[in-house]
């Protein structure tokens, strides 16, 4: 059954590409990093230091009745302002006051605190999708910090925004499946060059682009296994087209990428490289 679904999904993607696609749309709300207590966005360099999420200091967390999970590492927030100091001659001089604070993301690094965000969506988990996620043995840690979706090989960590950041619950799982497929390329799993040699192949390179094809085709295949591909296939085709354009629209790459995507999906589903039982 799985093999038939893989083939069906690949064929549908190719059909969508031949029909022409519209620009890819980010499926989740891109929340900025904010102070949890005030909900005010961080500014300046802090936008580069922090992923989207809700952050609080250790003191703020403790005062609110929460606690930091064991083993979690603090992140840094920079604070600075001009202060006025009167010298011995009575002149007012301005000096920059620079401080830093250690903060923790309350949704992923803490316990006992609730998100204060209002612009979110309510969803119930999809049973078949959850079976796929939970059935992934030797899986990396999965975190849910808002704003970005990525797989980080160096730490073997997946991050995707939480369900509440997606208008469509199916797009949450499609995004998660995408990062899960990336993670199969880790050297401890399938040891795929697009992941193993990431440091040598920056964003937009041929190797990076091909790995994105593998991840998105694999995500579409897992959506097919879960029975939600009708809700995600259009955006997936759009995303695939955006990377094909960087590869001179060579649609033959779809076939090669789909073969690697099948291996990744079989690994996640616990089937190794064995042929389908049907």
Higher pLDDT, 147 or 189: 189
Do 134 and 166 lie in a common domain? yes
Q: Which whole number is the average pLDDT over 71-93?
A: 85
Do residue 161 and residue 239 come from a single domain? yes
Query: What pLDDT does residue 276 have?
Result: 39
273 in any annotated domain: no
What is the pLDDT, as a whole number, of residue 214? 96
The confidence band for 274, taking pLDDT boundaries of 50, 70 and 90, is: very low
Q: What is the structure's pLDDT at 205? A: 83
Least confident of 26-35, 57-66, 224-233, 264-273: 26-35
Residue 11 lies in a domain: yes
Amino acid 73: pLDDT: 92
51 band by pLDDT with thresholds 50, 70 and 90: confident
The verdict on residue 20 lying in a domain is: yes
135 and 250 both lie in a single domain: yes
Shared domain check, 103 and 64: yes
Decide if 147 is inside a domain.
Answer: yes
In the chain, the number of structural domains is 2
- 15 lies in the same domain as 72: no
Q: How much is the mean pLDDT over the chain?
A: 88
Residues 38 and 67 in one domain: yes
Question: Would you give the DSSP letter of residue 123?
Answer: -
Mean pLDDT, rounded, for 51-55: 87
Cβ–Cβ under 8 Å, residues 142 and 160? yes
Asked if 174 and 71 sit in the same domain, the reply is no
Give residue 218's pLDDT. Answer: 96
Question: Residues 52-76: what's their mean pLDDT?
Answer: 93
Give yes or no for residue 260 having a pLDDT over 50.
yes
pLDDT at 263: 96
217 or 26, which is more confident: 217
- Asked if 51 and 23 sit in the same domain, the reply is no
Distance from C-alpha of 108 to C-alpha of 73, rounded to nearest angstrom:
11
pTM: 0.76
Domain identity same for 143 and 170: yes
Q: What percent of the chain has pLDDT over 90?
A: 54
At 86-120, the pLDDT tens digits run 887 778 888 877 888 999 999 889 999 998 888 78
Nearest to 228 by CA among 20, 15, 24, 27: 27
- In this prediction, residue 23 has a pLDDT band, given cuts at 50, 70 and 90, of low
Confidence of residue 278 (pLDDT cuts 50, 70, 90): very low
Highest mean pLDDT: which of 17-26, 84-93, 163-172, 242-251? 163-172
**Domain housing 89:** 34-111
Same domain, 212 and 170: yes
What are the tens digits of pLDDT across the range 154-205?
Answer: 999 999 999 999 999 999 999 999 999 999 999 999 999 889 887 777 777 8
**Band of residue 24 on the pLDDT scale cut at 50, 70, 90:** low
Q: Are residues 47 and 10 in the same domain?
A: no
Statement to judge: residues 75 and 91 lie in one domain? yes
For residue 163, tell me if it sits in a domain.
yes
* Alpha-carbon gap, residue 201 to 184, rounded angstroms: 18
- Spatial CA neighbour of 254 closest among 211, 206, 213, 199: 213
- Among the listed residues 208, 204, 264, 214, the one whose alpha carbon sits nearest the alpha carbon of residue 240: 214
């Amino acid at each position: 059954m799985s093999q038939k679904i893989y083939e069906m999904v690949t064929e549908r993607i190719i059909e969508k590409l031949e029909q022409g696609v519209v620009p890819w749309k980010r499926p989740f709300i891109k929340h900025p990093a904010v102070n949890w207590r005030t909900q005010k966005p961080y500014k300046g360099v802090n936008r580069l230091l922090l992923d989207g999420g809700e952050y609080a200091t250790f003191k703020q967390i403790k005062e609110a009745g929460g606690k930091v999970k064991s083993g979690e590492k603090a992140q840094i927030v920079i604070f600075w302002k001009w202060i006025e100091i009167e010298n011995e001659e009575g002149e007012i001089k301005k000096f920059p006051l620079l401080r830093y604070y250690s903060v923790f993301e309350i949704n992923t690094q803490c316990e006992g605190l609730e998100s204060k965000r209002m612009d979110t969506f309510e969803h119930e988990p999809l049973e078949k999708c959850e079976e796929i996620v939970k059935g992934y043995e030797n899986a990396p840690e999965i975190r849910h910090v808002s704003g970005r979706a990525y797989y980080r090989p160096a730490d073997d960590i997946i991050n995707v925004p939480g369900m509440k950041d997606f208008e469509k619950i199916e797009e949450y799982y499609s995004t998660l499946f995408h990062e899960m497929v990336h993670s199969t390329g880790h050297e401890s799993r399938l040891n795929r060059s697009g992941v193993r040699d990431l440091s040598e192949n920056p964003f937009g390179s041929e190797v990076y682009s091909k790995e994105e094809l593998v991840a998105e085709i694999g995500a579409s295949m897992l959506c097919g296994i879960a029975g939600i591909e009708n809700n995600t296939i259009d955006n997936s085709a759009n995303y695939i087209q955006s990377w094909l354009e960087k590869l001179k629209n060579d649609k033959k790459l779809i076939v090669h990428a789909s073969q690697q995507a099948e291996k990744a999906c079989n690994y996640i589903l616990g089937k190794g490289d064995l042929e389908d039982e049907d």
